Amino acid sequence: MPLPADIGSDAFNSAYLAALAGQSEAKGRARSVHARGSIAALIASYLCSAGYRSLRQTTKSGYASRIEVLRTQHGHRTIQGLTRERIVAVLQPYAARPGAALSILKMLRVLIRHAIDIGWLKYDPSSGIRRPKTQEIRSWSDTEIEAFEHRWPVGAKQRLAFALLLYTGQRRSDVHRMTWADVSGRTIRVVQQKTGRKLAIPLHSELLAALLAADRDHVTIINTEYGKPFTVDGFSQWMRAAITAAGLPLECQPHGLRKAAGRRLAEAGCTANEIMDSDIGRSPKPSVTRVTPIKRGSRQTLSQNWKDTRRTNLPKPMRAVWEERQKQKKNQSEQMATGAP
């Protein structure tokens, strides 16, 4: 067994003790080889496949925990033994957590498709297994929206994050990454992480007001108290705390603001297809058609519905207004420093 060249180092000492104990690297590799035809071997094959390597990093991160559960708990099982009954048994421990059960089932189906592609299976044994029913995230009501706005006035970071979610209709994974450079004139540019779709969204007057009231000290619009960009999970937890502080129930989730944006477009007269093809993105059509009936007699164009005409009364573009505000703040600071009235 080769030893590190740096004699006396921690790495050398660990390798030396392992060699004395007979724990050679070759033996370790031999033990790590997965039996052909096992679920662990299938996972190893999938992780080396072109299909997996072409995935976005965020998708790979989402797969990681599910893959590890299947590898550690079921990796010793054979692919041929992966019957419909076995899959049901794998999902059984998650009976009280339908969301987790659905995630495991989806991951299994990804692996099963790969097994079929490489000739380890001839059919999909998960066919016919119903997706676990999960609680659907609902739209916020106007009363709930007003309650949040009352608790977090314009100027609060929580209000700005709320406005970005509601008035752009984008997902958490997109909102937490938005930067000041994305804001140009009266639009905000977005490249959706999930779809790769490029959008230019008109700025609603409420969002514009929240942006104008915000400090522009960092690259990203929403940051942690330490000035760092949020992770998507950290952003979700931070928003959860803000929603709870507003006295709203657990059913009010950040993603529900995206649905509220779609609901308001429908109430303004947009069709389901218009909403699906709008800046909100390609939401499943059934979720759009479940919102309030469309007022066809008063329909306007989608862009007119999405924009708030009140903002057209603003005398200057957003950037100019912001620069003027920064000058005022600077003058106030200088006056305080010099003691001027």
Residue 66 has a pLDDT of: 92
Angle at 171 between CA 47 and CA 43, to 5 degrees: 10
Same domain, yes or no, for 146 and 50?
Answer: no
In a domain, 148, yes or no: yes
For 9-13, 115-119, 129-133, 262-266, which range has the lowest pLDDT when averaged over its residues? 9-13
Report the CATH number at residue 68. 1.10.150.130
Alpha carbons 180 and 239: distance in angstroms, whole number: 20
Does residue 279 surpass a pLDDT of 90? no
Give pLDDT, residue 311: 38
How far apart are alpha carbons 338 and 340 in whole angstroms? Answer: 5
* Helix, strand or coil, per DSSP, at residue 6: coil
Regarding whether 233 and 124 lie in a shared domain, the answer is: no
CA geometry: angle 161, 239, 155, nearest 5 deg: 40
Token reading at 91: 């999902």
Sign of torsion over alpha carbons 85, 87, 93, 97? negative
* Average pLDDT over every residue of 166-185: 92
Q: Considering 134, 157, 176, which residue would you say is the last residue of a domain?
A: 134
Q: Is 195 helix (H, G, I), strand (E, B) or coil?
A: coil
Strand partners, 156: 154
pLDDT digits (tens, 9 = 90+) for 133-145: 777 889 999 999 9
Which pair of structure tokens corresponds to residue 97? Answer: 């957590």
**Poorest-confidence range of 50-54, 157-161, 176-180, 297-301?**
297-301
In a domain? residue 176? yes
The three-class DSSP label of residue 221 is coil
Q: Is 38 in a helix, a strand, or coil?
A: strand
In a domain, 316, yes or no: yes
| CATH number of the domain within which 316 lies | 1.10.443.10
Q: Where does residue 50 rank: exposed (0-12), middle (13-18), buried (19+ CB within 10 A)?
A: exposed
Which residues form the domain of 57?
A: 32-134
- pTM score, two decimals? 0.60
The pLDDT tens digits for 215-257 are 888 999 999 999 999 998 899 999 999 999 999 999 999 999 9
| Total structural domains within the chain | 2
